[in-house]
Every structure is written in C-alpha cells, then in structure tokens.
C-alpha cells in the first residue's frame, strides 16, 4: 500500500554554533529556538556538534559525523542478550533500555547503528512558515521518507513518534520492505506501523508501539539524526541497537567493546556453571553465582584462563581490578 505523505519541509544543516557550556540539553533547546527565517531548516546537529556530543566514539564516522561502529563489532553484538548488556547501568547509563514495544518477530534479533528521526504533531503556523521558506529556496518536500532514504547497510531506523498510534502507520509494507533490503536490519518505531500482515512476511526485525490501518497523518518532521526519545530512553545517532525477545538496548559506541568483553566472561561463567550442574554433585548455592569452595573457585579461574588464553585472561584480571 502507498504510505507517502509530504510533511515538514526543511533545508541544509544548521549554521548555529556549537556551545561548550550547558551540555546536550542546552544544545537541543538552542536548536529548537532557531528563527524560522533560517532557510526553513529541519532541526539537526551539525557535523561539529555531532562529533562534540559523541566525542567518546573511538570508531570511524559517516560524512555527517554519525559514529560508524564497525561491522565486526555489530556481528559480535548479535550474540548478546539484553541481560548481558546490563553492565551499562553501572557505567552511568541507566536509561538505555526500552520495553513495552510490540515485536515483529520475537526470535529475530535486531542489531545495527541508529539513524534517528523525530516526528511531532503538526502545527500549521510552524509547518506553513517552514514550507514557504523551503520552497523559496527551491527545496524538495521533506517527509519521513527523507530519513528512510538516508539509511545505509547495517543501520536501524529509530523513530520517535511520541508513542502515537492515532497518527497512523509511519511505515507500511512497501517502506518496510525498502528498509529491510537497504539495511539488512530493521526498525524501532515509538509509534504505529501499518500493513502488519504484509510486513510480518518479511524476515526482518522490528519493534513498534502498535499497528493501525491508516497511513501517517498530522505529523511533521522536526529532526533527523538528533537525540530522540524511545520510551524512557535517550537515543543518539550511531548508537548500537540491540533488540531481543524482551526489548531494545541503545548502546553508546564507546561502550560496545567493553560490553562485549564482559559478555564473553558471562557466557563462559554460564557454560562452566551448567557443566558443574550436569555433574550432579553440587547444590546450586555451591556453584551459582560464585563458587563457595576455594578449590572450585580455582577450577573456575583455570577454566577462564584456558578459554580466554593468557593475554585475554590478563586483560580480564585488569578489568576486574579496575572495578574494585
């Protein structure tokens, strides 16, 4: 079904200078206070602002500054569960998990880099002023498809539609098919989708607030690749998205490798624990969560050393000591 709608015309990236003081919230407020005569632009982060507010990113970047976590890291993230990412909370990121969304295919994990889109209820005076300014500059109309057409392989479309189902489906089966074939990943939409019967036939991952027959309406684009809210989370462009049967984590790029390293230890610990349970000689409290017998603890440490290798085990001990 057709799912196109012209929404909120906008132009090139902001000329607003980045400000060092005040933090991310101040920058967002500044962006939203831009005068309507500034070329009718969509609210965004300049490349410089994107780099500033993702400054801990250790990886390459897309031309607009969005962090580009390597495919090799994303491939390893596919082996994680939500529980193995919980260590992110102790690192000062307690609000990176969203649940309560409907899941397109519960057995299909969603992994990729966030490309964010913010939608808001349409306001005629604002939208009309933006439309007039944009058309005066010869710009083409801007819609949710503008963001969709920016997607790259390995991206996840992350849409903040303020949880609205009444505003219609942000995507239907045609745009979902495009997202699937373009990214190889999927979408997270805090809002509605439509054509669920058609989308369900695709071998793609997707999370959404609800499904409804009508197409998107009475919405306007207010930001592409800016910080957005999904449920109780704050999502930055380039975040590593991990969705499983329970919900979705949005992992800051600079934490991805640390999370993977810790998850490897967790997985080895779980394998050793089950191996000891299989022996049928121990009560659960003797083995899980940590061996109570010094001899068993030594056996576990030797198991880790064997599985990790000498260098990997030394790195594990350093991380363990740093947390104390």
- Tell me the torsion sign for CA atoms 290, 294, 296, 300: positive
**pLDDT for res 4:** 39
CB atoms within 10 A of CB 1: 12
Phi, then psi, of 227 in degrees rounded to 5? -60, 135
Beta carbons of 245 and 106 less than 8 angstroms apart: yes
pLDDT digits (tens, 9 = 90+) for 212-241: 999 999 999 888 999 999 999 999 999 999
Mean pLDDT of 43-64: 94
Residue 64: pLDDT band with limits 50, 70, 90: very high
Who wins on pLDDT, 251 or 131? 251
Residue carrying the six token digits 């624990």: 273
Residue 90: pLDDT band with limits 50, 70, 90: confident
Residue length of the chain: 324
Q: What is the pTM for the complete model shown?
A: 0.82
Rounded CA gap, 150 and 266, in Å?
37
Domains in the chain, CATH or no CATH each: 23-252 (3.50.30.40), 257-323 (no CATH)
Rounded CA gap, 295 and 298, in Å?
5
Range of weakest confidence among 1-5, 48-52, 161-165: 1-5
**pLDDT for res 42:** 58
**pLDDT for res 23:** 45
Tell me the residue ranges of DSSP E strands in 87-154: 97-98, 102-103, 110-121
pLDDT digits (tens, 9 = 90+) for 71-83: 999 999 999 998 8
Rounded CA gap, 271 and 285, in Å?
16
pLDDT digits (tens, 9 = 90+) for 101-146: 999 999 999 999 999 999 999 998 887 776 676 567 565 777 899 8
Residues contacting 158, CB < 8 A, separation 6+: 114, 115, 116, 117, 187, 188, 189, 228, 230, 235, 239, 241, 250
SS3 247: coil
Who wins on pLDDT, 188 or 292? 188
């Amino acid at each position: 079904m057709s799912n196109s709608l012209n929404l909120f015309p906008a132009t090139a990236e902001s000329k607003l200078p980045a400000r060092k003081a005040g933090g991310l919230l101040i920058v967002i407020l500044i962006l939203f206070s831009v005068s309507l005569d500034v070329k009718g632009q969509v609210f965004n982060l300049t490349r410089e602002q994107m780099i500033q507010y993702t400054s801990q990113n250790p990886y390459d970047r897309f031309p607009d500054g969005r962090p580009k976590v390597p495919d090799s890291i994303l491939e390893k993230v596919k082996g994680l569960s939500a529980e193995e990412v919980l260590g992110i909370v102790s690192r000062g990121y307690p609000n990176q998990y969203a649940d309560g969304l409907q899941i397109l295919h519960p057995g299909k994990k969603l992994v990729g880099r966030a490309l964010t889109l913010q939608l808001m209820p349409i306001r005629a005076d604002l939208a009309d002023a933006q439309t007039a300014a944009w058309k005066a500059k010869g710009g083409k109309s801007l819609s949710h498809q503008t963001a969709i057409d920016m997607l790259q392989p390995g991206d996840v479309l992350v849409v903040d539609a303020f949880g609205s189902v009444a505003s219609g489906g942000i995507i239907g089966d045609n745009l979902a098919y495009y997202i699937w074939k373009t990214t190889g990943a999927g979408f997270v939409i805090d809002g509605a989708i439509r054509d669920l019967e058609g989308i369900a036939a695709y071998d793609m991952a997707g999370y959404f607030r609800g499904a409804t027959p009508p197409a998107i309406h009475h919405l306007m684009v207010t930001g592409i690749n800016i910080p957005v809210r999904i449920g109780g989370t704050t999502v930055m462009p380039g975040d590593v998205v991990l969705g499983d049967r329970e919900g979705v984590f949005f992992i800051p790029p600079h934490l991805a490798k640390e999370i993977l390293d810790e998850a490897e230890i967790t997985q080895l610990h779980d394998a050793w624990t089950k191996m000891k349970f299989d022996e049928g000689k121990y009560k659960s409290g003797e083995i899980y969560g940590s061996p109570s017998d010094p001899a068993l603890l030594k056996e576990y440490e030797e198991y880790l050393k064997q599985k990790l290798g000498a260098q990997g085990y030394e790195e594990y001990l350093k991380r363990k000591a740093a947390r104390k």
